[in-house]
Amino acid sequence: MVCAFDISDDVKESLVKSKFNIQEGTTGSTIKVLNKNRNDQKLLNLNYESPSNLHEFDIVIFDMTKGKEEKYDQNKHTIKSLQAKKAVALLSQYPQDIFDPRPFSINIISGEISELLTKSSIVIVFCSTEVNAHYDIVEIDSYQTKISDSMNYSNLNFYSGLPQIKSRTGKRVKISSNNKLSSLLEKHLDKVSYGTTFIHPKKWFKQKTELDNSFIPLLENDQGEVVSYFHTYNEGSVFVFPDFENKESFTSELLNSVLPDMFPDLFPYHGQFGWLSNGEYLLPGEEGLLQKKAELEFEFENNLQSIKESIDNTRVEYNFLHDLISQSGDELVKAIQKYMIWLGFESVIDMDEQVIDVFEEDLQIETDKGLLVIEIKGIGGTSTDKACSQISKIKYRRAEERGKFDVFGLYIVNHQRYMAPKSRTNPPFTENQLKDSVREKRGLLTTYDLYQAYFMIEKGVLSKCDVRNSLYEFGLVSLEPKDLILIGTPSEIFKNGTVAILNLSGNCTITKGTTLIARKDGGLSNLVVDSIQLDGVDVDEASSGEVGICLSIPIKKSTELLMKA
């Protein structure tokens, strides 16, 4: 197996044509963050991709000579929490314009490379100029965002045996010594460039230092400095090359001819007898099987492409749901406006498009019950008392303008937005904030509640009308169905969660065919009671005692079961 990081399309196509089993990876793209103003900053994730079993591969290729760049997209940098109440991210701030994740990514990948080199394996690296980068790691919790650590990494530290390096650029190189790669290297000497030279490492041997013979220079410049080498390291082999103009031709000959001759155990189907598996000399029955395989692969690729297109279309159509739990500012206001229209409100006005006053509400909804004014915030922490109560002033001003008290105030917050919603403080309001909101007759709601309500509506647990009516409530707004009775939590479950044992206290009666509501991690879903057993006997209903119920969908042991009164 070959894992190739950041190789060009022509190199990949050449290797695939030669029947190599290729899996691609990337050390990441540089990100155009454009921190133009003094207070500008971005929180980012690494964008590298590497197989989790990299240590199991036989050959790993890195092309560090070219780089890709992408514009900063906040949707790609949603911060994921590693602990229940804490998230981490990388900080980019003014005056940094370009954020380069590659040195950090390579530092992570180097651990797998070190493990890979403890067995018979090959690492091939095309390198250019060394890139050093400084990184600040920030921790985000309910209270603050702070820099917790800082470090510097180099993109060339891909394995622990790297020799000392020196930054030097040039294009004139020559063969260092005759070896099995000399003929191949000779073909590419006129179209090569380098950005780094390497110092031949030394070792202590027989009471003196001498050049390490496990390190073999392959190319050197006019000053005799090493620009390419072969290093036997632990049980593996490392090849470092400069940037060849025709990398496709070089790589193809290297893997198809040179390395199979040097490492026949790693290339059982290449080199001298590679023609045995090129498809021209088939075995009995093999042609039919290969044809069937090709048909299945073609069908799979078509189906996979269709699914990918459907996923892309879904992400475009429903991106406002992701914006609910990640965005701030205008993007968050637009997402909630779209949500409210989907919810069935006919007149949802973005007040930023109507007035310039910064103390106006964000959304205004005229309904048959009166006017609903909504203040919206997207923040990294939790809300201050002032932020929660700002909607009260707007509410009373609108009531005075209308000359009647049919104005409802609602504060909606996307709190701790850099953290995954399940890891956030839910609900994020203090006891005083909740008491004040009831006293001042205004509502408090999170965007995560709206996000969850969307799926409860889709599942039939809630109706859009239920959610619309809840938005007029005072205090902490709950979007769950009203008048629910808690039946209990299963003491045991069987048959992969489709059979639950409950202890009924007599506060309700479960009948066969009853629709129950399962609550788990804040989400609700409907399920049906298919059958009931009491003392091992099938019954049509039960209201007390230990009963077993068979459910239409499986549940977890910690799931709460409820029913409507």
- Name beta bridge partners: 531: 550
Query: Given its phi and psi angles, is residue 206 left (phi above 0), alpha (psi -120 to 50 degrees) or beta?
Result: left
Residue 540 sits in a domain whose CATH number is: 2.40.30.10
210 with 128, same domain: the answer is yes
Q: What is the pLDDT of residue 268?
A: 65
Please, which pLDDT band fits residue 525 given cuts at 50, 70 and 90? confident
Q: Which two tokens stand for residue 168?
A: 């030097």
400 with 465, same domain: the answer is yes
What is the domain count for the chain? 4
Residue 399 sits in a domain whose CATH number is: 3.40.91.30
341 with 397, same domain: the answer is yes
339 near 320, Cβ under 8 Å? Answer: yes
- Name beta bridge partners: 407: 371
CA 157 to chain centre: 25
Helix (H, G, I), strand (E, B) or coil at 222: coil
Domain that holds residue 488: 484-564
pLDDT at residue 382 is higher than 80: yes
514 near 528, Cβ under 8 Å? Answer: yes
Task: Count other Cβ atoms within 10 Å, centred on residue 397.
Answer: 15
Among the candidates 476, 508, 535, a domain finishes at: 476
DSSP state of 111: H
Read off the pLDDT of residues 208-241 as tens digits, 9 standing for 90 and up: 889 999 999 999 999 999 999 999 999 999 999 9
Least confident of 152-156, 350-354, 404-408: 350-354
169 with 294, same domain: the answer is no
Name the residue with tokens 């993007």: 331
- Strand (E) or helix (H) holding 304: helix 286-317
The whole-chain average pLDDT of the chain stands at 90
Least confident of 170-174, 405-409, 451-455, 515-519: 515-519
10 Å CB burial of residue 484 (0-12, 13-18, 19+) is middle
- Mode of pairing for the β-strands spanning 86-93 and 132-140: antiparallel
361 with 390, same domain: the answer is yes
pLDDT at residue 367 is higher than 70: yes
Q: What is the pLDDT of residue 485?
A: 87
310 with 324, same domain: the answer is no
272 with 143, same domain: the answer is yes
* Direct distance between the N- and C-terminal alpha carbons of the chain, in angstroms, rounded to an integer: 61
93 with 208, same domain: the answer is yes
442 with 488, same domain: the answer is no
Structure-model confidence comparison of residues 273 and 250, the more confident one: 250
Please, which pLDDT band fits residue 271 given cuts at 50, 70 and 90? very low
Q: Which of 215, 195, 193 is nearest to 203 (CA)?
A: 215
252 with 303, same domain: the answer is no
205 with 325, same domain: the answer is no
pTM of the model: 0.61
Helix (H, G, I), strand (E, B) or coil at 537: strand
146 with 75, same domain: the answer is yes
- Strand (E) or helix (H) holding 99: strand 98-99
